Each structure stands twice: as C-alpha cells, then as structure tokens.
C-alpha cells in the first residue's frame, strides 16, 4: 500500500503545473501550489501517508458535507430538503443562474446556494462553536480551528455568495439573518484541516458513521447514507459525472485543494493539492485518486478481481 501511495504522489506531481490555486479568495492565491499529500486510513485503522499530509489548509466546500450531516441530525431530512433538491446542477459551484431562472430551490447541498440554505436553517439555533465541535469529532482532529486570515479574506471578497444569499432570502428560503448566515457559512469554509483529518472523516463515513476503533456512533447512519449518495452525484462540482466514471469513489472537493474520498466499508482517503483545474477540483488530487482507484480496485462498480 505504501508503495502505491508513493507512486500516486509521483503521478500527481506531474500535473501540478497545469493547475492554479484559487484566486478569487486572495489568501488562497498565496498558497504554494506545489503542496501535495495523500493519506489512506483503512478499516483496520492502518494509516498510510505520502507527501504533505500534516499541512493545514482550509476545508472550503468539504465543510458542506459536515454541515449537511449536522443539519440532518439536528433538523431532520424533511426540514433540510423542504426547499432544496438533491440533483446535480451541472453548473459551477457558485452559480446562481438556475436558482433564479429554472428553479426556486437550490439544486443540491454541495453547491454554494444549497450550502447557504442549509446553514440558514441552522443559524438561529446553533453556534459556530457547536458546529466546530462536531467537525472536530467527525474528523477525529481536536486541532481544527478557524483560520482567521482566510475567513477575513473571504468575507471581504464574497460578493457572489452574498448575492446568492440575498436571492435565497427573496425566494423565502433563507428565513433568518442573511449576514449571519453568510458569516457562519464562511467560518465553516475556513476550518483548517489536514489530509489526515479528511482521511479520518472518510473512514468514519465509510464505517457508516461509527468510530473505526471503538464502534461508538459519531454520525447518524441515515445522514451518512444520504451524504455519501450526494457526494457521489454532486461532490466534484460540475466534474462529478466524469469523476464518477473514472474514479467511482464518493468524494467531495474544496477550493482550498482538499478532497475527501470514501471507499465504502474499506477506507477513508484525504488529499491536499491546492493546484486546481478550471472546475475548482485539485488537479493532482484527481489524478492520484484515479490511480489509486485503478491500482487498488476501489471503483464502486469494479469487477471482482
Ligand atoms: N468558501 C468557498 C466559496 O464559498 C467554498 C467554495 C468551494 O470550495 O467550492 O466560494
């Protein structure tokens, strides 16, 4: 396994030059795009790492997985999906076109409109500390904190998310304070994680929401099933379809360069590679996952070897 991981890293490195760090959040543009790391933690809790797996970076959109699970557990499925669909949008993560013209509901909770709606349901009754505590628990990483610099940077460059949030309010989807919703959403995007924390979360999800060693339930089983299904169809932005064919592992990416991947009942994978492709997915990360999927036979529809 270690050898395969190191090979994956070498393959990933060859693609870094074709990607770039996200630039619409100035603080993310300052990150070294050559960072690259991958961590696998298996069901038997064997941990394999290659590259920069301990470097902290902001979770960005991967927080949508955590917020969705939190909301499903606290508010229930009916409330969360009352005014939101679970369909891939086929549009960029920050698009508001279809929300305004083709539907009055966010397409799914993995795009910004849907994640803002999800946070909007929570903001009146839960604090950032409640959600941070949950994030630490499900990632089994007590060192997760909010990266203040990235938070400030994003808050001063979030005109587009602000526009989405006010559009949601105009449609009666955001019922509470829009600015507070925007702040909580952005704080969740600014959580600092590592490839290892993402691999931990992947393993918890792969284990149906249970702690891999103690068996203690960390996440609700039904929420976990739903979250993994939506990761498969919507987790890689408008690249989700091709990624499902090529890699076949439910995953969620973030513009900070992270990818969380869940190999059902087998392992969690965490990736850090901030050079992104034009859709916002880690370019080297996807190549590494494709290699791992092929070499370790991880595709969810792989034939028996
Ligand atoms: N905080 C980012 C935003 O709202 C998250 C985007 C992402 O990772 O896709 O634009």
Range of weakest confidence among 35-39, 88-92, 155-159, 195-199? 88-92
State which of 254, 257, 274, 279 you would mutate to test the pocket of ligand 1, scoring each by most atoms of that ligand within 8 A of its C-beta.
Answer: 254
| Residue scoring higher pLDDT (255 or 98) | 255
Ramachandran class of 255: left when φ > 0, alpha when ψ lies in -120 to 50, beta otherwise: alpha
Total structural domains in the chain?
2
Confidence of residue 305 (pLDDT cuts 50, 70, 90): low
Of the three residues 122, 156, 189, the one that is the final residue of a domain is 189
Q: How close is the Cα of 63 to the center of ligand 1, in Å?
A: 9
Residue 302 counted as domain residue:
no
| 179 vs 176: CA distance, rounded Å | 9
**Given this model, what pLDDT does residue 102 score?**
73
| 119 vs 293: CA distance, rounded Å | 33
Q: What percent of the chain has pLDDT over 90?
A: 89
pLDDT in tens, 230-287: 999 999 988 999 999 999 999 999 999 999 999 999 999 999 999 999 999 999 999 9
Average pLDDT over residues 107-113: 92
Average pLDDT over residues 58-79: 97
Ligand 1 atom closest to 93 (CA): 9
| Residue 189 near ligand 1, beta carbon < 6 Å | yes
pLDDT in tens, 43-54: 999 999 999 999
Clarify whether residues 70 and 162 are in a common domain.
yes
pLDDT above 80 for 90: no
Residue 281 counted as domain residue:
yes
Beta bridge partners of residue 242, listed in sequence order? none
| Residue 95 near ligand 1, beta carbon < 6 Å | no
Clarify whether residues 38 and 11 are in a common domain.
yes
Full-model pTM: 0.96
State which of 159, 255, 274 you would mutate to test the pocket of ligand 1, scoring each by most atoms of that ligand within 8 A of its C-beta.
Answer: 255
Q: What percent of the chain has pLDDT over 70?
A: 99
pLDDT above 70 for 12: yes
Q: What is the CATH number for 13?
A: 3.40.710.10
Active centre residues (catalytic): 61, 64, 185, 237, 255
Ligand 1 atom 2 nearest Cα: 60
Clarify whether residues 56 and 128 are in a common domain.
no
Residue 65 counted as domain residue:
yes
Ligand 1 atom closest to 280 (CA): 9
State which of 94, 253, 272 you would mutate to test the pocket of ligand 1, scoring each by most atoms of that ligand within 8 A of its C-beta.
Answer: 94
Q: Strand, coil or helix: what is 215? A: coil
Confidence of residue 110 (pLDDT cuts 50, 70, 90): very high
The pair of three-digit structure tokens given for residue 237, joined into one six-digit string: 């932005």
Of the three residues 151, 174, 189, the one that is the final residue of a domain is 189
Q: What range defines the domain where residue 29 resides?
A: 2-60+194-296
pLDDT above 80 for 96: no
CB 211 within 8 A of CB 203: no
| 258 vs 201: CA distance, rounded Å | 12
């Amino acid at each position: 396994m270690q050898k395969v991981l190191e090979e994956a890293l070498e393959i990933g490195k060859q693609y870094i030059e074709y990607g770039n760090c996200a630039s619409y959040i100035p603080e993310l543009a300052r990150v070294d795009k050559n960072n690259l790391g991958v961590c696998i933690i298996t069901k038997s809790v064997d941990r394999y790492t290659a590259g920069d797996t301990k470097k902290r970076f902001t979770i960005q959109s991967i927080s949508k997985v955590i917020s969705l699970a939190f909301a499903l557990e606290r508010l229930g499925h009916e409330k969360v999906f009352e005014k939101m669909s679970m369909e891939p949008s086929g549009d960029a993560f920050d698009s508001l076109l279809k929300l305004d013209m083709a539907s009055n509901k966010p397409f799914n909770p993995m795009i910004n409109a849907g994640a803002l709606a999800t946070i909007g349901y929570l903001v009146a009754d839960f604090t950032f500390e409640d959600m941070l505590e949950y994030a630490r628990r499900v990632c089994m990483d007590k060192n997760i904190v909010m990266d203040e610099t990235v938070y400030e940077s994003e808050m001063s460059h979030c005109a587009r998310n602000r526009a989405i949030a006010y559009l949601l309010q105009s449609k009666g989807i955001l019922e509470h304070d829009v600015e507070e919703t925007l702040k909580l959403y952005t704080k969740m995007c600014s959580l600092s994680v590592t490839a290892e924390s993402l691999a931990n979360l992947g393993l918890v999800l792969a284990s149906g929401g249970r702690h891999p060693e103690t068996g203690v339930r960390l996440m609700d089983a039904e929420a976990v099933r739903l979250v993994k299904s939506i990761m498969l169809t919507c987790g890689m932005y408008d690249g989700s379809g091709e990624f499902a064919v090529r890699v076949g592992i439910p995953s969620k990416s973030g513009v900070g360069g992270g990818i969380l991947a869940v190999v059902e009942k087998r392992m969690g994978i965490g990736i850090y590679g901030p050079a992104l492709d034009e859709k916002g997915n880690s370019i080297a990360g996807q190549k590494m996952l494709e290699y791992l999927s092929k070499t370790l036979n991880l595709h969810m529809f792989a034939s028996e070897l």
